[in-house]
């Protein structure tokens, strides 16, 4: 039999700096929100090839990152990624998806992104800017050794010229092996 020395009570409400009483869940949500506000202050230092927009300006936990690479295989394209930050941030990474169907070794046809810091290498010391720079790097240097799109990785490994042709064709909205890709050229 368990004997409790202290009586079990409901969590006490917490007053925030504005005098509003919050329960523990709301307080945690406020902490996540404040952390995201701090993280997003770094967005001003992003390179000019990036733009962050908020579909709902009242919700900083969901935003769209647009990357328009100015060199490499994907030069001339405009690629959009949705970020969905959960209540366990920074202990869990945000959910990041490419919103367009693109031909890339590290992005599958459903928009999932193969970036180690979004999976096993995530730690709470990383932030949103770390993820954004990771995605920029995937466009500058696709990684065929850790692919989500195995077909694109195989072509990149075997023939860079064919990969370049395929990337250009698909960015224009073309079809490769029966798969229609979204037009992303600007």
Known catalytic residues are 114
Q: Quick one: 168 exposed, middle or buried, by C-beta within 10 A (0-12, 13-18, 19+)?
A: middle
Distance CA 59, CA 6 (A): 40
Backbone angles phi, psi at 58, to 5 degrees: -90, 0
What CA–CA distance (Å, rounded) separates 67 from 52?
9
3-state secondary structure of 102: coil
């Amino acid at each position: 039999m368990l004997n409790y020395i202290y009586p079990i009570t409901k969590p006490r409400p917490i007053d925030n700096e504005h005098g509003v009483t919050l329960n523990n869940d709301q307080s945690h949500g406020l902490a996540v929100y404040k952390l995201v506000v701090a993280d997003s202050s770094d967005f001003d230092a992003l390179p000019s090839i990036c733009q962050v927009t908020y579909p709902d300006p009242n919700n900083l936990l969901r935003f769209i990152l647009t990357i328009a690479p100015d060199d490499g295989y994907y030069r001339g394209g405009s690629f959009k990624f949705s970020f969905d930050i959960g209540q366990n941030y920074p202990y869990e990474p945000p959910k990041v998806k490419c919103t367009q169907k693109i031909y890339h070794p590290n992005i599958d046809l459903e928009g999932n992104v193969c970036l180690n810091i979004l999976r096993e290498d995530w730690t709470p010391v990383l932030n949103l800017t770390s993820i954004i720079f990771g995605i920029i790097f995937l466009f500058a240097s696709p990684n065929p050794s850790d692919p989500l799109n195995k077909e694109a990785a195989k072509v990149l490994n075997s023939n860079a010229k064919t990969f370049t042709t395929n990337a250009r064709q698909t960015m224009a909205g073309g079809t490769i092996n029966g798969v229609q890709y979204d037009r992303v050229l600007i």
